[in-house]
Each structure stands twice: as structure tokens, then as C-alpha cells.
Amino acid sequence: MAKSPDPLADYNAKRDFSRTAEPRGQVGAGGAKRRFVVQKHAASRLHYDFRLEWNGVLLSWAVTKGPSPDPGEKRLAVRTEDHPLDYGDFEGTIPNGEYGGGTVMLWDTGGWVPQEDFEKGLSDGKLKFTLQGQRMKGGWALVRMRGKPNETRENWLLIKERDDYAEGNPDGFTKGKAVSVKTGRNMTQIAEDAPAKAPPDPAPDRCRKRPAFVKPQLATMVAEAPEGDDWLHETKFDGYRCLAALGKGGMRLYTRSGKDWTDRFHALDGAFDPLHCDAALIDGEVMAARIHGSAFSSLQKALKQGNALVFFAFDLLRIDGEDLRKLPQIERRERLAKLLSGAPSGGPLRLSEHIVGKGPEVFANACKAGAEGIISKRIDAPYRSTRSKAWRKVKCTRRQEFVIVGYSPSDKAGRPFASLLLASHEGGALRYKGRVGTGFSDAVMEAVARAMTARKNPPCHDVPDDIAREAQWVRADLVAEVEFTEFTGDGYVRHASFLGLRDDKKADDVRLEAPMTDDTETTVQGIRISNADRPVFPDAGCTKGNVARHYAQVGERMIALAGHRPLSLYRCPSGISDPCFFQKHDVGGMPGELSRVSVEESDGDSADYLYATRTESLIAAAQMGSIEFHIWGGRTDRLERPDRLVFDLDPDEGLGWTDVQEAAFDVRDTLASLGLQSGAIVTGGKGVHVWLALRRTRGWDSVKLFAKTFAHVMAARAPDRYTATMSKSKRRGRVFIDWLRNERGATAIAPYSLRARPGAPVAVPVTWDELKDLEGANSFSMADMAARLEADCPAAQVQDSLQSLSDGVIDALQAFAEN
């Protein structure tokens, strides 16, 4: 804002530092982490001053209504003079009569990271950045408005990006958050110079309705841990399953059957306070903080004596009004990790650890460490309130819940029984399953005896006569957790040991758990494909094995066009009818056939991206449930020099295929008038990609600018046919010339990739003559590939015809725009 060589000249000129306590303006050195500040300012008009540290000063905007977490709310932000870095700690009162006289509160502060070239954005009037504050988090943008003639002030708009930190309440920040993040004082206390209070509780006041209990998802027992990287594995906890509901009115802790055990789990009071949310429903397990002997007996002792407890969280079902249960397991896990990032390490609230892939190895290590077993979960599966094969449990030892139906008397003085008689529900009746006579301490034995209620008749009628003759029968309403080595030939437990009573489970629900067997598998070019018969495209009768064989068939051609480029994989491990998700980073457990490249992202951090170098890479990705391959416009050896330019012609819903064909030929002819030859790819959906191969002489910004300009010129020349804007309202009745595929990090569907759509269509390069006769962009399927491979690939000629966005081409585009 300042025009003087001294960026703080305006700031200093407006203030009398003999009267105001504001810091004198001096350009600072700054630190390794850039700071942002928001100060609530009750001047002549209440507003919020938003400041970003840049080049030794705080760039400043006055936000009249304050920032809003609602992406649909655009808040006016008037650019003001730059402020010194020291101003970021200022809180107090500016005297009346002085510039900005009034009370100032330090409302928020933290670090920030630019998402794009900040200097260029400042000049162009569009800034995108990520905030890491106590209140403002995630992606934000400042956009300069077009000024009126002779207007001296700069009007900008402060806008929240759509991400996990966005919410629908426009005033969610400014209503209720009325104390300083520095001193805990409100505006009145700051004005009166009252002493600083203790730092405010970092957890926000929970004002949303607390989520209702839902039935938890249960795991199916299997004999062996599943293999493959489409599974994550967690330790099987030996405690009480618990759902934590947070929201207005306080926390509630429910057992798996829906009992409210908040009072019984009172040792967890305050455990969830550090979480920054207004409401949540978290799935987890309650354990004793200190384990002596078995984990389950330690938990029962801790509950009896009021000892410390730990809540191990492993799933997030709801957050701030959003139902997450339809999201893939891995996405819910990531949202949970983000939520729990504010919880103190080693505290009573902890995130359960998990490992992706290597199931048998994880299981073996768990058993070696003395764990009960592991829980394996499909990373793509939604949350279902039932027992599901998407969650599988594998036990190191045989453990089972049984109903207590009676006991055998003891001949020893003072012992209430010698053993307990056990049963389970089978075929609509209780069936006898043997006895357990070890694992009891004297205190536990007395507690079990007091809990049993005598009855005259046996609850089950298949108890052997020699045992039934002396048995004392009890009401079948208690559940015992028992460990044993095996079932005998008669179906009775052998070498059983009592672990404890399960107060959280109903006797009527106790069933024996039989291990489930795995599906079939096959091998494609040396890559093992598990569950090869699993339907992926149900309407087309195509399985996971068919998908793998498709990529084996087209792999050589596909690698020639799409290889050595960062990928975004669209994965549907359970088929296209179930939830699918995009993956671009290597989050662990991905196959070795896929290569990795470190890419610096917009926030300045680096991440490992996946890319394919050979056919086996594609097959291995298919084993992971990958259906679609989306590629960057640059190759990994020179990532900052794109070699591919794409216009994705996306028709509005009311348009037909003929409109898309005509648009493709129009784009082709216009490019040709600029001296550029292009090719066509039908996408397998509704549109066509018009593309060309580039010499690597220009960077992303230049390629993007050319594509943007070209698309807007086309739209300007035929506004009734085309639009270059994503807005749905602008696309009505038009073809969207999508130029955004040419941004750094943007992707386009790879040639010969399957599409996750009914009928298993394939994105296929075609000649311009072929395009005239096609009946749609989804004309090709897997079955058509053998014939396509017999002919030359139309894209190969385009790939070999490298072209430059030369000064002559750009001049021609400029002339085209002016005519």
C-alpha cells in the first residue's frame, strides 16, 4: 500500500507515539515462520484487522464484518497501511483523538504459508494462502475488487476456501469468540486495563447438538490376516468398545449396545476438551492406563477402583453436523487424525496406530508381542452399523464370549463354585459349550457368584448327564469372556481360562464366531491379484481380474503416453458401486512396482507422488483397486517444464454429442490457425480432449496463461456456444472449454485408462476422421482394445510432433483475440 521507499512511512506519519502505546514503525527481520495476526478493533466502527507478515512488515486489511468460515460469504477487506511486526503483539487502547482510537484485542494469531507466488498474487490482486491459527485454519483467499474511477482505497474480499475447516455458519467466528487469545480478556476488560486472565481454554464452546448413538460396526472373525495394500491393520484392543458423543450439553460415552456409561468412565472427564470441534461422534475402545496381568482384568480393576483410563480412538463418524460414515475408511481415519492432532501426547485420548498392508506380518508381530490379535479394515469401505467383512479380526489365541448357564459346586470350603457352565446361541437355542474353572481370583469368584441369579430348570438341555446331575442352574443373563486352546470333537472348550464378565454385551447376542475364508486370487504378468473374481463393473460383468488384464493388454501403449508422469489414482477397491476415492500421494503400503518422486507443493512442503514406468506398475495399481489413471502435463525428469497441453471439452447436461463433436473440430481448426496441430481423445465420459505435445521450453505459468487466453477468446467469439468459466450458471447450454487441466498439479485422464462408469468405458485416442463417425465419447470398452492395438496409435503421431508456444504463436493468438 505504501508508496514511499520506507514501507512504514504512512504508519509512522499517522501516529503520535508520545500519546499512543502502539509500537513505532521499524521494518523487522522476521522469523523462519511467517506470522499472521487478527486484531479486533473497536474504533469509530468495529472491525477486524487482518495482517500477514511479508518482507519485514505486516500487510494489513480492515475486515468490516470480520472473517467468516463460510466459503459462500465474501467479506469486504479494505487494504490499509503496512504495520510493523511488533504490532502483532499489541493489545490495548489507542487514545481518543489518535488515528484508530479505540480498543484493540489480539483475536487470533499463528503461522501462514502462501499457496502460490505471493508477490505476483499481490500485484495481480489474488492471494491464496493457508492459515495455521488458533481460530482461523486451512485455505483462504484475498481477491482485489475492480476499483471505481478516482478511487484511492483498495477494496478486497476475504474468502474461506472449501476444506475441512469450512463451515456453513457465516458468523461462526465472530459470535461467541469474544476473548483475547493472548490474555483471555474481553473488550471491556482490555479497555479497563484489567489484569490478564489465565489463557482461555483452547477447546471451543460446543454449541452444536450432540450426535445420537449409532450401532457400531463389528468385525467378522477370519483365520488369516488379509494380504494386499487395500487393508489397514490395527491392534485388537482388549477393553470396552465405546462411542464418544461430543456436543452441546457435554460428553456422553456409550457402550456397543448403547448403554450410557459416562459416569462409569468418569476417569475420562475432560479427555476430549482439547478437540477443536462443536460436535463429534468418535468410535474407539476404553482401556486401563496401566496394565497388570491381562488387559481386560486390568480394565475391570481400574473401573472398580477409579484408576486412570485411556480412550483409543480409531474412527470418526460425525463432525460438526457432517455425517462421515459414507466416506472411505482411510478418509475417515485422516479426518480423525486431524481432529486429534490437538490432543496432548500421552494423555487419556489417543489415536490408535495402524499399518497399511503386510497383514500376515503385522499379525505375527502382534502375537509375538502378546496382543490378543489384530483388526483388519478395508481402506475404501464405508462405515456400516452391522457385522461386516470389511472389518476382519484375527486372533492370536482362541477367545470367545459365552453365556453362563450354571456352575458346578466346589468341595473346597469358602469357594462358591468349582467351574462355570458355558453356552452359546445356536439355531435358536442355547447349546452347551463346556466349563471354565481357572482364571479366577478369590475376589473375582465372589463377584461372579453375587452376580448370578439362581433358577430351578436348566437354560439348555444338552449338558452331559454326569455334569448336569450336580449342576446348579442360573439365569442365562451373564456373559463371560473366556480364552481357550481349541474346541474338542464334541464342541466343548479345552483348557479354558476365565478373563472376566462382559457387562457391555447382551447374553441374547452371544454367538460362536467361525472364521471366514478368503476369495480367489490369480496372477497377471507376475503380479498377484487377490479377490480376482470380485465384481468391479457389475452391469458389464467385469471383475478385478479383468481390470488387471486390461492394463496388461494396453500397458505398453499407455506407458508410452502416460508413463513417467505424476499420477492421481481413482481407486474403487470394492467396485464402482461402493465408495471410491482419489489418491495422489504415497501414504504407505503402495506396491513397489509404482515409482515415487518428491514434489514440492503449493504450501512449500514436499510429498511423494506415484508414477508408472512399466506395464507392471499399472497392474500393481489395479491390484490396489485402481480403476482410473489421471496424469500431469509434465514428466518427472523436468517437472517444471510441461510437455502436454489439453483442452477438455465438457458439455452442459442439455447438450448432445453432436455439440461436443462440433466444438472439438472448432478448437482444432482455431489451433491450426495459430500454427498448432492437435489430436483428439474421447474420454469415456461425455467429453473430448483436444491436446498437443509441447517442447519443454516454457513453464507452467506460461502454458496455463496461453490455455486460459485461448479458451476465453473462443468463448468471447461464440458466447452462445462456449464458456471458459466453471460456474454452472455460465455453462447452461454451452460447452465448457476447460483450460484448468494445464495448471501445475492438475491432471487429465490418461489415454487407454478405464473410467469408473457403467459399462466399463475406456478413454481412447482417435483420429479426426474417426471422431466424425463416433456415436459418443464412451464408444469404447475393454472388449474393443484388441482391435485398437492392431492399428497404429493416433496419439503416437501427436506425441512425436513436438510444438512450441513460440512468440509467433502467442502473437497470432493476440491478433486472433483482437479481430
Amino acid identity of residue 206, one-letter, is R
136, three cell numbers = 482461523
Buried/exposed code over 724-735 (b: 16+ C-beta within 10 A; e: otherwise) = beeeeeebeebb
Cα gap 38→63, rounded to integer Å: 10
Indicate the pairing of strand 722-723 with strand 735-738.
parallel
Grid cell 457403467 — which residue?
A: 758
Cα gap 608→593, rounded to integer Å: 15
Of 511, 490, 492, the residue nearest 433 (C-alpha) = 492
Indicate the pairing of strand 102-114 with strand 126-133.
antiparallel
Cα gap 627→516, rounded to integer Å: 27
Of 610, 570, 568, the residue nearest 589 (C-alpha) = 610
DSSP codes, 524-560 = ETTEEEETTTSEEEGGGTEEHHHHHHHHHHHHHHHHH
Integer CA distances (angstroms), 185 to 92, 179, 200, 207, 539, in order:
11, 5, 9, 21, 63
Q: Which residues pair with 761 in a beta bridge?
A: 781
Residue 745, Ramachandran bin (φ over 0: left; ψ between -120 and 50: alpha; else beta)? left
Cα gap 515→513, rounded to integer Å: 7
User: What is the DSSP-derived secondary structure letter of residue 726?
Assistant: -
E-strand stretches of 694-767: 722-723, 735-738, 748-749, 764-766
Of 250, 231, 244, the residue nearest 340 (C-alpha) = 244
In total, the chain counts a number of residues equal to 819
Grid cell 492437435 — which residue?
A: 678
Cα gap 625→544, rounded to integer Å: 7
> Contact at 8 Å (CB) between 754 and 628?
yes
Catalytic residues: 236
Neighbours of 531 (CB within 10 A): 21
253, three cell numbers = 460415552
Q: Which residues pair with 721 in a beta bridge?
A: none
